[in-house]
């Protein structure tokens, strides 16, 4: 029978099927961080049980870590306590831990692939919805709750009903100034923030085939923003080249054998999906969001839709625009902004910093803009320096901070003040996401760069 990439990986990890219930689903790799793991460890302690396979769980601190002066003790007592709890728990249960200051530390979804922990055909979970990122390698990867974090540590399995399958095909040629983030925001705008709920997506078509691994990670990362549990892309030579030689990737003969297997991980030509979406790459413009969920996105040259043009209730829509301080039919270009955030598990990789730098090169940061440039990991940070990007950024008036989730969810001090506008390369524009009362406009790194140097929303194509 013809099967999809998703079927192949899913079915090979089902330990048993429960009648009228979920599958007992085996997890190959488990990432944990300081925020969603402490209560799971407490559960283990109360039950008096150990971690079944400590070598399959990897801990990193990222959500509430400061992005300056990481050599100093963490000033926020609650954050410090949570970081200490992760360190202690990892030590007690024999889990590798890349804490604050460790050279391998960084955002969980950046360091996983960087170290070859993420592999094609693997099943990967983490108590974080953007675990979908790892699908870029042909893995089934998705976010889980803390009860499930405990479940995975205790038994290396979770109870999961198999999602339905959706394929999103993007074919054709992307226009100038349109990158992976725009493709993802366009898809989410088409499907809305709930259109993918109940599905697992496969991204297919020449646009994804031609995309870099970093770009594929950006796209898969945002799968959850259309409600899909995750999204994946069939592994290819680019995937193998990215992984070869990385710390946890197979070596020698094991590598050759692995690649042989990975080459079989693709959807059969006549396999059937529960839903399919076809998009012409030429229809996609550089995207910007104007509302309070990631589905509220439009091309930068467009006006904000009126309530009768969008799906969903008018009351919710108007509440959203009121929060943003925007109005129906507003023009986006030219709107003044206050903050720019480059970073997060969505856009905190080297390619994102290259793209941002390309735009700000030879220009100056606008005086009215506070910019936070936060690499996704120390490896990315080092690469920014090695490639000479830091010199260009410094010349343009920008400062590079230290790795972490930072202003994406504002658990640390990187908070956008109430009422202020931030053009952010992160993944969520929910009310208060970047700080109480903050107003977030999601965009690509080059859109963020264009805003950073002009102090207002600007079509990045005008600066290219």
Partner 1 sequence: MAYDKFTILTSSAVPLPIENVDTDQIIPARFLKATKREAFGDNLFRDWRYNGDDTPKADFVLNDATYSGKILVGGKNFGSGSSREHAAWAVYDYGFRAVVSSFFADIFKGNCLNIGVLPVQVSPEFADVIFKAIEADPKTELEINLPEQTITLKATGQKESFDISGYKKDNMINGFDDIDYLQNIKEEITGFADKLPY
Q: Binding to partner 1 (CB under 8 A): which residues in 3-22?
A: 12-13, 15-16, 18-22
C-beta of 250 vs 397, nearer to partner 1: 250
Cα(309)–Cα(200) distance, integer angstroms: 28
Q: Binding to partner 1 (CB under 8 A): which residues in 248-307?
A: 250, 258, 261, 293
Q: Which of 327, 279, 338, 335 is nearest to 305 (CA)?
A: 327
Among 148, 236, 338, 459, binds partner 1 (CB under 8 A): 148
Q: Which stretch binds partner 1 (CB under 8 A): 214-222, 236-244, 270-278, 405-413?
A: 405-413
Task: Concatenate the DSSP letters of all residues of 217-276 into one string.
Answer: HHHHHGGGGGT-SEEE----HHHHHHHTT-TTS--HHHHHHHHHHHTT-S--TT---SEE
Are 123 and 27 a contacting pair, CB within 8 Å? yes
Cα(404)–Cα(106) distance, integer angstroms: 6
Cα(119)–Cα(5) distance, integer angstroms: 14
In angstroms and rounded to an integer, the radius of gyration of the C-alpha atoms of the chain is 21
Q: Which stretch binds partner 1 (CB under 8 A): 206-214, 263-271, 404-412, 453-461?
A: 404-412
Are 406 and 106 a contacting pair, CB within 8 Å? no
Cα(457)–Cα(453) distance, integer angstroms: 10
Q: Binding to partner 1 (CB under 8 A): which residues in 61-100?
A: 63-64, 76, 78-79, 81-82, 85
Among 66, 106, 112, 121, binds partner 1 (CB under 8 A): 121
Q: Binding to partner 1 (CB under 8 A): which residues in 347-376?
A: none
Q: Binding to partner 1 (CB under 8 A): which residues in 194-253?
A: 194, 197-198, 224, 227, 229, 250
Q: Binding to partner 1 (CB under 8 A): which residues in 313-342?
A: 313, 315-316, 319
**Count of residues that interact with partner 1, criterion CB under 8 A:** 80
Return the beta strands (E) in 48-132 as ranges: 57-60, 96-98, 123-126
Q: How far is the CB of 345 from partner 1 (least distance, A)?
A: 12
Among 57, 108, 111, 150, binds partner 1 (CB under 8 A): 150
Q: Binding to partner 1 (CB under 8 A): which residues in 22-51?
A: 22, 24, 26, 28, 35-36, 38-39, 42-43, 46-47, 49
Q: Is residue 382 part of the contact set for partner 1 (CB under 8 A)?
A: no
């Amino acid at each position: 029978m013809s099967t999809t990439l998703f079927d192949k990986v899913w079915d090979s990890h089902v330990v048993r099927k429960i009648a009228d219930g979920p599958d007992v689903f085996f997890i190959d790799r488990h990432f944990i961080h300081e925020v969603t793991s402490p209560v799971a460890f407490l559960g283990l302690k109360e039950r008096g049980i150990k971690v079944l396979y400590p070598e399959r769980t990897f801990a990193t601190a990222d959500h509430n870590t400061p992005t300056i002066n990481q050599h100093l003790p963490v000033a926020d007592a609650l954050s410090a306590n949570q970081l200490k709890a992760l360190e202690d728990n990892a030590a007690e249960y024999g889990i590798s831990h890349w804490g604050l200051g460790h050279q391998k530390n960084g955002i969980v979804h950046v360091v996983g692939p960087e170290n070859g922990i993420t592999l094609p055909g693997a099943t990967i979970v983490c108590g974080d919805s953007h675990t979908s990122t790892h699908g870029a390698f042909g893995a089934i990867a998705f976010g889980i709750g803390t009860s499930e974090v405990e479940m995975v540590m205790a038994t290396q399995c979770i109870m999961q009903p198999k999602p339905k399958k959706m394929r999103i095909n993007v074919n054709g040629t992307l226009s100038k100034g349109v990158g992976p983030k725009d493709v993802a925001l366009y898809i989410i705008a088409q499907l809305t923030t709930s259109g993918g709920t109940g599905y697992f997506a496969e991204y297919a078509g020449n646009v994804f085939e031609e995309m870099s691994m970093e770009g594929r990670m950006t796209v898969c990362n945002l799968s959850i923003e259309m409600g899909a549990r995750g999204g994946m892309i069939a592994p290819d030579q680019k995937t193998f080249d990215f992984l070869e030689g990385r710390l946890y990737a197979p070596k020698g003969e094991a590598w050759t054998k692995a690649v042989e297997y990975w080459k079989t991980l693709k959807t059969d030509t006549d396999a059937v999906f529960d839903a399919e979406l076809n998009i012409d790459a030429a229809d996609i413009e550089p995207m910007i969001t104007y509302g309070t969920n990631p589905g509220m996105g439009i091309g930068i040259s467009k006006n904000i839709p009126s309530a009768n043009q969008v799906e969903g209730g008018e009351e919710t829509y108007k509440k959203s625009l009121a929060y943003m301080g925007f109005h129906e039919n507003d023009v986006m270009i030219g709107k003044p902004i206050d903050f720019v955030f480059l970073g997060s598990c969505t856009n905190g990789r080297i390619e994102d910093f290259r793209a941002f730098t390309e735009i700000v090169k030879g220009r100056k940061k606008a005086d009215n803009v506070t910019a936070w440039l936060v690499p996704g990991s120390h490896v990315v940070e080092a690469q920014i320096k090695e490639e000479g990007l830091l010199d260009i950024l410094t010349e343009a008036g920008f400062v590079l901070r230290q790795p972490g989730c930072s202003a994406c969810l504002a658990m640390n001090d990187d908070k956008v003040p109430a009422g202020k506008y931030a053009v952010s390369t992160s993944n969520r524009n929910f009310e208060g996401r970047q700080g109480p009362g903050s107003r977030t406009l999601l965009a690509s790194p080059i859109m963020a760069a264009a805003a950073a140097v002009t102090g207002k929303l600007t079509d990045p194509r005008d600066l290219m």
